[in-house]
Structure 1
Amino acid sequence: MQLTEETPATAVGNEPQATPAAATVTPDTDLASLSQAQLYDLNQELLNDSVPSRPLIDEVSPMTALREEYENGSQSFVQQIDWLMEKGYKAVRRTKGDGDCFYRSVAFAYVDRIIHSADVPLAAASAASTIQSTLSMLDMAGFQKLVFEDFYDVLVSLIESTVQPDAEGRTVDDNVLLEQFQMPEVSNSIVVFLRLLTSAQIRTDPESYEAFLFHPELGEQLAPREFCESLVEAVGKEADHVQIMALSRALHLDIDIAYLDGRNADGKVDFVDFRNSGDKDAQPLILLYRPGHYDILLKTG
């Protein structure tokens, strides 16, 4: 999806949010009749009830486990999960619902793709080079090196450790990667760096985004700096289309978002594609979006 002057505000999730009346949801409830805020509240209840103490990022779990969580709720979600499984999406790696889930999911999937690439040294070198190239943009955006260098170092060091052993003599494999992302000091540092990078992308190219910068609850248009300070740089603030587009552009990433929102009567899941790698053969990072939350969606076969 490209942000253009013709893109309606509702397409980027910036419509004014009226305070909804409490919704009673049964298996027969038509989710299309619920507001975005009501869908968000419904999904947050499921997230909180399923695993209250979920780690920052979790082990891979089968989609059938996610399905079980919705079986006693609306069947619209169940139908969409079944549709995804029929299309080969058999597993999900879930992240903690703390408002940083988009950035954490992208970061984990980004490094995970490196360690599973056909040429790990090449993939690691390319990723490190891409991230290094963003430093000038961070500087142009007005961020002092002292603000971002430690966060930058954490991410680049992790990527470099997919090839070169770290201080403990370990290279990053599946187990080490999960361990690192479950450590708050590592995981949250990477989240902060990606937030700063997203902000820098918007700040240095405001013309591409300013028509779509709205307060998510009030619907009021915000200036780029105000939007970035309030909704991008601040930890715990969820990402929407603007942030996804900005980060995918900054890192030259292809990202696909599968929208599990219970709104399609036929059970189909809509995907929104962000294409910024310039490589038609590149495999996109795939995230599963439920109102207010992102996880990593995994396809098998």
Structure 2
Amino acid sequence: MSDNHQAPPTQPPAEATQTDPPIQAQPTPPRQIDENTDLKTLTDEEIKQLNEMAEQSAMKVQDERPLVSFPTPLSLIKAEFDDPSTPSQNVRRKVDKLEKDGWDMVWRTRGDGDCFYRSFILAYLLRILHSESPQLQANLAFSNIQSALPSFEKAGFQLDLLEDFLEPLLEQLKKFEDQATSPTEHEIVTVLQNSESSQSMIVVLRYFTSAYIRINSETFAPFLMHPENFEPMDPADFCSAWVEPTGKEADQVMIQALARCLRQGIKVCYLDGSSSQEDEGGASFVDFEIEEGQGVGEEPLMLLYRPGHYDVLAPLATPSSK
């Protein structure tokens, strides 16, 4: 008997309906953040991006640039902003204003995360060198350092472990005691170009800064935030993570702490692409003052800040040697 069963008829496939794909909104391209960006307009995420760019740039050039350089014309920085594709007119205008006001030389430092502390040391020693009485100013600096030493132990550090790092800085100050041994600009730069001496000074400045923040935690606590996620941080954790390790950038908290710890005022010239009527077309300046009654009446150290980097700003009238 043959199998006469037939497969059930199938329904013809329904004709596919043509539909247009949903229109997806095009993401807004991220804003280009560079050295010409107005810092006042940055979002938290853009600040994080700028910090990452600065770190990448520092790693790229750190083996190409000396730890510190001899003074060069400020106009060389202006030349870096001649690219017509960048919104750098404000930067060039600010450099012109600085030059007009007599600030036309810059001592450049390596961009390796330690540039603030290295610039501080260079400006600190140059100020003593070019003062009316280098011996007196060196003695005052030595006295201020000695007065700050107890802060190490108050903060829980072992002073004897830091003395070796402190010695290179004290040796430079002692050279000013006698005019015959007073260093020249060339000798100061040569010492700071030595990696071992330079790093020792940076380490001790970082611990001075950390100790001051730790023992004045109530003053600084409201301003201590993680630089990447902007979460509040405990002063001890902040110092351990962002102040004491070398290669970590300094912000305004560290600058203020070091200024007060060593009783040395600091003035920072901010050079960026921002524009403000208050600045009258020039760069903005921020004073990091010492506490009332601390100072010795000296001019503050003058530093130049471009996003992510510090150098030393100086007038052309400063002698090239002494």
* Match among 240, 248, 269 for residue 237 of structure 1: 248
Q: Which amino acid aligns with 1:292?
A: G
What corresponds to 1:292 in structure 2? Answer: 308
Q: Which residue of 1 aligns with 2:177?
A: 163
Task: Give the drift of 1:48.
Answer: 7.8
Distance 1:21 1:32, change over 3 A: same
Q: What residue in structure 2 maps to residue 111 of structure 1? A: 125
Q: How does 1:22-37 map to 2 (within 5 A)?
A: 23=32, 35-37=46-48
Q: Which has the larger radius of gyration?
A: 2
Aligned to 2:186: 175
> Which of 266, 272, 287 does residue 286 from structure 2 map onto?
272
- Note the residue ranges of structure 1 that are not aligned, 5 or more in a row: 1-19
Return the TM-score normalized by structure 2.
Answer: 0.78
Separation in structure 2 between the aligned mates of residue 91 and residue 116 of structure 1, nearest angstrom:
15
Counterparts of residues 117-128 of structure 1 (less than 5 Å): 117-128=131-142
For the aligned residue pairs, the C-alpha RMSD in angstroms reads: 2.8
Corresponding residue for residue 92 of structure 1: 106
What SS is found at the alignment partner of 1:294? strand
2:233 corresponds to:
222
Distance 2:49 2:136 in 1: 46
Indicate the residue corresponding to 1:11 in structure 2. Answer: none
* Partner Cα separation in structure 2 for residue 83 and residue 209 of structure 1: 34
Q: Provide closer, same or farther for how the CA distance between residues 41 and 64 of structure 1 changes in structure 2, counting only shifts above 3 A.
A: farther
Q: How far did residue 268 of structure 1 move?
A: 2.2
Cα offsets for 1:161-193 (capped at 9, x unmatched): 12359xxx9542111101000001111100000
Amino acid at match of 1:82: D
| Amino acid in the other structure paired with 2:229 | L
Cα offset, 1:36, TM superposition: 3.3
8 Å contact from structure 1 (residues 23, 38) kept in 2 = no
Aligned counterparts of 2:77 and 2:168: Cα–Cα separation in 1: 32
Other structure's SS at 2:268 match: strand
> Hey, what's the Cα distance between the residues in 2 that align with 1:122 and 1:30?
42
Work out which of the residue numbers 14, 30, 35 in structure 2 matches 1:21.
Answer: 30
Query: Match of 1:57, SS?
Result: coil
Maintained 8 Å contact 2:55/2:113: no
Mapped contact 2:165–2:200 kept (Cα < 8 A): yes
Question: What's the CA shift for 1:43?
Answer: 6.5
TM-score by length of 1: 0.83
Q: Is 1:249–2:249 an aligned residue pair?
A: no
C-alpha distance 79-37 of structure 1, shift in aligned 2 (>3 A): farther
What residue identity is the alignment partner of 1:71?
A: D
CA distance in 2, matches of 1:293, 1:105: 10
Offset of residue 267 of structure 1 = 3.1
1:80 matched to which residue of 2? 94
Alignment partner of 2:298 out of 270, 273, 282: 282
Question: What stretches of structure 2 of length at least 5 have no aligned partner?
Answer: 1-28, 318-322
Is this contact kept in 2: 1:36–1:291, CA < 8 A? no
2:213 to 202, 206, 215: 202
What is the rounded CA distance, in whole Å, between the counterparts of 1:41 and 1:79 in structure 2?
A: 27
Residue identity matched to 1:179: T
- Where 2:156 maps in the other structure, the secondary structure is coil
Contact 2:151 2:212 in 1 (8 A): yes
Give the aligned partner of residue 6 of structure 2.
none
Shift of 1:101: 0.5
The one-letter code of the counterpart of 1:23 is Q
State the shift of 1:281 in Å: 4.1
Determine which structure has the larger strand proportion and give its number: 1
Structure 2 contact 128–137 (Cα < 8 Å) conserved: yes
Give the distance between the partners of 1:91 and 1:26, measured in 2 at CA. Answer: 20
Match of 1:6 in 2: none
Identity across aligned pairs (percent)?
Answer: 39
Aligned length: 278
Mapped partners of 2:284, 2:155: distance in 1:
34
With over 3 angstroms needed to count, the CA separation of the structure-2 counterparts of 1:118 and 1:240, relative to structure 1, is same
Instruction: Please give the secondary structure, in 2, of the residue aligned with 1:218.
Output: coil
Shift in CA distance, 227/64, structure 1 to aligned 2, threshold 3 Å = same
When residues 156 and 32 of structure 1 are mapped into structure 2, their CA distance, relative to the original with a 3 A threshold, is closer
Aligned partners of 1:67, 1:289: CA distance in 2, in Å? Answer: 14
